[in-house]
């Protein structure tokens, strides 16, 4: 009873924090309107205001409200993390299921390609890919210079580099599931391979996928923050916690709070996702729980 209660608390606390953060960040438009503050309006006469009744966390180097920009930055960082995590889950689960179920040359081909990507240094490769000019790749200028294009670009790049771990997990689980009685019975009845994969194999993979995606979100937030901090991720005027750190580094000694706010949010969010992932793993994977004991 005590152990079960502890497990429930371990899931509930980070889940409630993340839910509160999501609701708060995606209420930024309403809060901005309610407070009567335009977070994109620069007013140099209001530079580096200390926290007060009007500007709850003060203002930045352009006189913009830091609190509202943190919320908009959270929208962007969390959107990138969730989009990339879901895309990586779809790619990784599909590759792993096909490799494990088909076996033979398909398994060897897909897993060797996966191993090749795993062997590449992820961060340097992401830096190179993020620096590519979309117009030179044939993307229309209107689309390549759109305000939100960097958000989708970074999400796609991170997803393409983040699916490999899930592919290996899905393959290992599929190798076990395809030899179980329910899968063999389905094949003996003439059920198509696609139906077996979608109706029988995939539902039994969802526990593994859920845990892996939850743990991956925290890692993706860090990757996006690093790229934005280096100036290769989310591009201004679109705010993110990473590029807010970049803008604050020039005044880190005089206005330390401008670095503390986004840094603390990155730290707390990544920690919450990691705690949630570990707690879900203990709840959804009994074997893993017994091994830890």
List, for residues 94-151, the tens digit of each pLDDT value.
999 999 998 889 999 999 999 998 888 887 888 888 777 777 777 777 777 777 788 8
In this prediction, residue 8 carries a pLDDT of: 72
| Predicted model pTM | 0.87
Three-state secondary structure readout of the chain: CHHHHHHHHHHHHHHHHHHHHHHHHCCHHHHHHHHCCCCCCCCHHHCCCCCCCCCCCCECCCCCEHHHHHHHHHHHHHHHHHHHHHHHHHHHHHHHHHHHHHCHHHHHHHHHHHHHHHHCCHHHHHHHHHCCCCHHHCCCHHHHCCCCHHHHHHHHHHHHHHCHHHHHHHHHHHHHHCCCHHHHHHHHCCCCHHHHHHHHHHHHHHHHHHHHHHHHHHHHHHHHHHHHHCCCCCCCCCCCHHHHHHHHHHHCCCCCHHHHHHHHHHHHHHHHHHHHHHHHHHHHCHHHHHHHC
| Maximum average pLDDT range among 138-147, 178-187, 278-287 | 178-187
Question: Percentage of residues in the chain with pLDDT exceeding 70?
Answer: 94
Rounded to whole angstroms, the Cα distance separating 15 from 22 reads: 10
pLDDT given for residue 250 in this prediction = 80
* pLDDT band (50, 70, 90) for residue 287: low
* φ, ψ for residue 9, nearest 5 deg: -65, -40
Q: Please state the rounded mean pLDDT for residues 204-228.
A: 88
Q: Distance between CA atoms of 175 and 172, rounded to whole angstroms?
A: 5
Q: Residue count of the chain, please give it.
A: 293
CA atoms of 152 and 260, how far apart (whole Å): 27
Instruction: Specify which residues 65 forms β-bridges with.
Output: 59
């Amino acid at each position: 009873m005590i152990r079960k209660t502890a497990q429930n608390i371990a899931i509930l606390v980070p889940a409630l924090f993340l839910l509160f953060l999501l609701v708060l960040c995606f209420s930024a438009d309403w809060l901005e309107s309610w407070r009567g503050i335009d977070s994109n309006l620069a007013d140099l006469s209001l530079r580096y205001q200390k926290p007060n009744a009007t500007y709850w966390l003060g203002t930045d180097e352009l006189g913009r409200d830091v609190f509202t920009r943190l919320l908009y930055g959270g929208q962007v960082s969390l959107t990138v993390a969730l989009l990339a995590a879901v895309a990586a889950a779809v790619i990784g689960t599909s590759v792993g299921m096909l490799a494990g179920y088909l076996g033979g040359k398909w398994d060897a081909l897909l897993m060797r390609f996966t191993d090749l990507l795993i062997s590449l240094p992820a961060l340097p490769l992401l830096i190179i890919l993020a620096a590519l000019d979309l117009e030179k790749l044939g993307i229309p200028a209107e689309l390549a210079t759109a305000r939100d294009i960097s958000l989708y670009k970074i999400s796609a790049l991170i997803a393409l580099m983040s699916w490999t771990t899930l592919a290996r997990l899905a393959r290992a689980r599929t190798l076990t599931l395809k030899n179980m009685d329910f899968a063999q019975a389905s094949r003996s009845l003439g059920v198509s391979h696609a139906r077996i994969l979608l109706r029988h194999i995939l539902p039994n993979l969802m526990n593994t996928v859920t845990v892996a995606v939850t743990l991956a979100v925290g890692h993706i937030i860090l990757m996006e923050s690093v790229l934005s901090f280096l100036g290769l991720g989310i591009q201004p005027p679109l705010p993110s916690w990473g590029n807010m750190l970049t803008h604050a580094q020039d005044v880190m000694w005089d206005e330390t709070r401008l670095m503390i706010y986004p840094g603390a949010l990155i730290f707390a969010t990544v920690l919450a996702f990691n705690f949630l992932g570990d707690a879900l793993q203990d709840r959804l994977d009994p074997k893993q729980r017994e091994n830890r004991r």
